[in-house]
Structure 1
Amino acid sequence: MKSSPHRVRDVMTHGVVAVGRDARFKDIVERLEEWKVSALPVLEADGRVIGVVSEADLLPKEEFRDSDPDRFTQLRRLSDLAKAGAVSAEEVMSTPAVTVHGDATLAEAARIMAVRHVKRLPVVSAEGILEGVVSRGDLLKVFLRPDNDLADEIRRDIVDVLFPAPVEPVHVIVKDGVATLTGRVGDPERIPLAARLVRGVEGVVGVDCRLAVADTG
């Protein structure tokens, strides 16, 4: 049985659309529309990611198309005004690109997206070569894992390890991603640990830990 996909490379999209630094503004817009994405990696000829051009990078051209911003706006929106006059990917892209490595955990990728306010991350090798793209939707794929797979993993990797000789069998039931543990065990200190480990299994939505301590008196 396949264990939880803990790494970005397990869920990323391998077929990636990208543009070169000389790509023209209109070509970028057409590529975004054609592939139904909100951002594109910008590559050097050797495949290294040097930036990302997103819809947000392109919008200033429309925002300032027929406006004459005052000096305060010019100073405050200097970068956006420069992008409004851009005609190529090199001029309009955000750089350096916010990227992630394929061996990063899904939690690490999610944290980068949240902190940097991006929806997609180019996945790069140690040399910065583009290997794929991971999106918010890709990170959510783990929640599509079948309940039976989750239950099997919890039994094998957590319950059987923490409670090799329970006082009575520990039962694991997963329904709609919520894992319920019942049974009686001898070591009370391992109960909260079990709940924490189950919560960390990729695809688990919630944990209902009903394990009880056996009465040895």
Structure 2
Amino acid sequence: MNGSDIIVEDAMTKDVVIAKPNDLVSNIAKLMSEKEIGSVIVVDENMYPLGIVTEGDIVRNVIAEDKDPKTTVAKDVMTTPVITITDDIELSSAARLMAVKHIKKLCIVSLDGKLKGIMTEGDVIKHAGYLINLFR
């Protein structure tokens, strides 16, 4: 890889923490705390992304709504549809999409739509030097 061809696959997080649509929000929150992450991707039984549950979703859709996290499930609070891209996209294009859509995370999928990874703001920041050099 030279300095001009970083693609999403080179920068994404491959070890994605997932949840199922009927997982309890309380369990998702515990998982997020244990893993020190701010979101989980909600997938179906075939690993197709259905949505994303973020810390903000839990605050807005559970706590602020006085819902019980021990009875509320992921599918009722997740953000959907989740924005997806394939891992062969250039990092600069992914970062631009995140900026345009005002999102902090992108779901990375294979050509057949199955979950492969996640691109977070942190992943982009790790490659900020590369991105800055694109504009020089």
How would you bin the TM-score normalised by the shorter chain?
0.7 to 0.9
For residue 203 of structure 1, report the CA deviation from its aligned partner: 5.8
Q: Deviations over 1:54-78 (max 9, x none)?
A: 112111322232xxxxxxxxxxxxx
Task: Write the distance in 1 (CA, Å) between the matches of 2:97 and 2:132.
Answer: 20
Q: Deviations over 1:110-142 (max 9, x none)?
A: 122112222121111122101011111212333
Partner of 1:3: 2
Task: Number of aligned residue pairs: give it.
Answer: 132
Q: Any unmatched runs of 5+ in structure 1?
A: 66-83, 145-200, 208-217
Task: Write the distance in 2 (CA, Å) between the matches of 1:23 and 1:54.
Answer: 14
Q: Deviations over 1:79-133 (max 9, x none)?
A: xxxxx47711111111111122101111221122112222121111122101011
Task: Write the distance in 2 (CA, Å) between the matches of 1:117 and 1:34.
Answer: 27
Partner of 1:122: 107
For residue 205 of structure 1, report the CA deviation from its aligned partner: 7.5
Partner of 1:32: 32
Q: Deviations over 1:156-209 (max 9, x none)?
A: xxxxxxxxxxxxxxxxxxxxxxxxxxxxxxxxxxxxxxxxxxxxx6562874xx
Partner of 1:92: 77
Q: Any unmatched runs of 5+ in structure 2?
A: none
Partner of 1:53: 53
Structure 2 residue matching 1:204: 3-state secondary structure: helix
Task: Write the distance in 2 (CA, Å) between the matches of 1:21 and 1:99.
Answer: 18
Task: Write the distance in 1 (CA, Å) between the matches of 2:27 and 2:45.
Answer: 18
- Alignment of 1:63 onto 2:64: yes
Partner of 1:135: 120
TM-score by length of 2: 0.84
Task: Write the distance in 2 (CA, Å) between the matches of 1:49 and 1:140.
Answer: 24
Structure 2 residue matching 1:121: 3-state secondary structure: strand
Structure 2 residue matching 1:23: 3-state secondary structure: coil
Whose RCO is larger (CA < 8 A, sep 6+)? 2
Structure 2 residue matching 1:28: 3-state secondary structure: helix
Task: Write the distance in 2 (CA, Å) between the matches of 1:45 and 1:55.
Answer: 23
Larger radius of gyration: 1
Identical counterparts, % of pairs: 29
Q: Deviations over 1:22-45 (max 9, x none)?
A: 111101111111112211110011
Partner of 1:152: none
